Structure 1
């Protein structure tokens, strides 16, 4: 059976839609459909059920996708074994992280790695945590930086190892002249009558904010939903809204706005994730070690 077609089927089992598979593999949706059809011809069994605009793997399709996952896993393990035996750090390392963490952790880590290992090329892709974990399971990234607040999947799954890096606290973002701007900290009920702007780049993150407000006894009055922090910041700066900002974005990214700690504290835990057993790979071990060192220094400066 053709390996590329098996990989496409495996991706479909993870990502659920032809469009998502096409985006992940950098091919067209029609090419994805064609590869699945060719694999069905090759195996002589129906692998997917087409339901309206969506598809679902048949029992045979899911079983073959599971086999494909094990084959890809064995090849990845062989690659790790060879890298461990060579004991050299070279080639390409693929890394993913979500925006508010990526801006703080990824550039200095890549800079440190480039200085120590000039023969290693680190390739970074900005992905939300769930997408990062999907890319990790599909062997499309080697290290994924994720959190436990916006990740819908279990962080204890056997395919992936998690290494805790640091904790981040969420903060209220206010205009500089807001009546509450001089308070040392705020509670969410104090913001019940405010208008809110939500960063909907990650739907899960927006749901976390709405859920926190509801747990505090009110539904936030949302007057803006934005797909970038720049627009969120502009809405708050103009006095149109308040928002909640990850602490890691820091004061360097908010201009003259006010960042206020929330009481009680809302914490998210940040992890480096990699496939089980692959910390034996010298490049992965070195990158994760640099992440740990940076995270430790950031925690000490707080």
Structure 2
């Protein structure tokens, strides 16, 4: 049986719709449907039942997924064992990182790897944490940077290992002229009358901020939903809005805004996720070491 078709069935067991599997595997929904149909032809029995817009695995499908989990795990373990025996840091490693990591830790990580391991090629894909984790599970990336604000740690399955990198504190971001700009810290409730700009590139992250505001006793009045950091800070610079952003996102920013720590403190735990057992792969181990070096270089809390 074709391994890519087994992977598609495995993803379908988790995601329940062809469209969701297509998004996770970066292919079209029709391609996923064709892979499942071909797998059913190979198996000689129905593997899925259509239920409205979704699908449900048959008993045969569930049994095959259990076998697929073991088969895929064994193949990945074999690849890691062979790479470990070679003890050569070479080949290609795909790194998925969300914007604050992609703009701060990723450049120095890639620079160090290029200097120390010229036979290793690192390919960076900017992805939000949930996208990166889905890409890791679908073998579309090899290392995914995640955080515990947008990825529930309990949702990380046993086929994924997570290595801690650092903590990142969140800050209230204000115009320079804002009355609270010179305070040592700000309680979110002090911003209840302000207009907010939210970065909705990650819906999950914007939900975290809105939830924090509600916990502080108010519903934020949003005057801008922005698909990116640059638009948010331009509105804050102009005095139109306030926001809350991670410290890492502001690390290399040199514009005219003020960042003030939020109380109660909001922090996120940033980690690198890899498939189980693959941290032994010399190339992936080198990427993890370089990420930790980048954390130290940036002076981020670890």
Q: Return the TM-score normalized by structure 2.
A: 0.92
Determine the structure 2 residue equivalent to 1:223.
223
Specify whether residues 208 and 26 from structure 1 end up closer, same or farther in structure 2 by C-alpha distance, changes over 3 A only: closer
Displacement after TM superposition at 1:133 (Å): 1.9
Determine the structure 2 residue equivalent to 1:111.
111
Displacement after TM superposition at 1:207 (Å): 1.3
Contact persistence 1:155–1:162 (CA under 8 A): no
Determine the structure 2 residue equivalent to 1:174.
174
Specify whether residues 134 and 23 from structure 1 end up closer, same or farther in structure 2 by C-alpha distance, changes over 3 A only: closer
Q: Secondary structure at the match of 2:299?
A: helix
Contact persistence 1:172–1:243 (CA under 8 A): yes
Specify whether residues 7 and 211 from structure 1 end up closer, same or farther in structure 2 by C-alpha distance, changes over 3 A only: same
- Separation in 2 of the partners of 1:301 and 1:128? 21
Determine the structure 1 residue equivalent to 2:70.
70
Alignment of 1:51-130 (within 5 A): 51-130=51-130
Specify whether residues 300 and 237 from structure 1 end up closer, same or farther in structure 2 by C-alpha distance, changes over 3 A only: closer
Q: Which sits farther off after the overlay, 93-102 or 58-67? A: 58-67
- Separation in 1 of the partners of 2:226 and 2:204? 14
Determine the structure 2 residue equivalent to 1:6.
6
Alignment of 1:185-264 (within 5 A): 185-253=185-253, 255-264=255-264
Q: Secondary structure at the match of 2:27?
A: coil
Q: Does 1:27 align with 2:34?
A: no
Q: Which sits farther off after the overlay, 59-68 or 32-41? A: 59-68
Specify whether residues 111 and 14 from structure 1 end up closer, same or farther in structure 2 by C-alpha distance, changes over 3 A only: farther
Contact persistence 2:96–2:132 (CA under 8 A): yes
Q: Which sits farther off after the overlay, 226-235 or 82-91? A: 226-235
Displacement after TM superposition at 1:297 (Å): 3.3
Determine the structure 1 residue equivalent to 2:45.
45
Displacement after TM superposition at 1:75 (Å): 0.9
- Separation in 1 of the partners of 2:205 and 2:300? 26
- Separation in 1 of the partners of 2:219 and 2:24? 36
- Separation in 1 of the partners of 2:252 and 2:5? 46
Residues 155-188 of structure 1, C-alpha deviation per residue, up to 9 Å, x if partnerless? 7643222221111100011122222222222111
Displacement after TM superposition at 1:115 (Å): 0.9
- Separation in 2 of the partners of 1:21 and 1:155? 17
Q: Secondary structure at the match of 1:66?
A: helix
Specify whether residues 137 and 28 from structure 1 end up closer, same or farther in structure 2 by C-alpha distance, changes over 3 A only: closer
Displacement after TM superposition at 1:35 (Å): 1.6
- Separation in 1 of the partners of 2:251 and 2:4? 46
Displacement after TM superposition at 1:7 (Å): 2.1
Specify whether residues 179 and 161 from structure 1 end up closer, same or farther in structure 2 by C-alpha distance, changes over 3 A only: same
Q: Secondary structure at the match of 2:45?
A: coil
- Separation in 1 of the partners of 2:259 and 2:250? 8
Gaps in structure 1 of 5+ consecutive residues: none
Residues 121-174 of structure 1, C-alpha deviation per residue, up to 9 Å, x if partnerless? 111112221222222223222211111111035276432222211111000111
Cα root mean square deviation, aligned = 2.1
Contact persistence 1:175–1:242 (CA under 8 A): yes
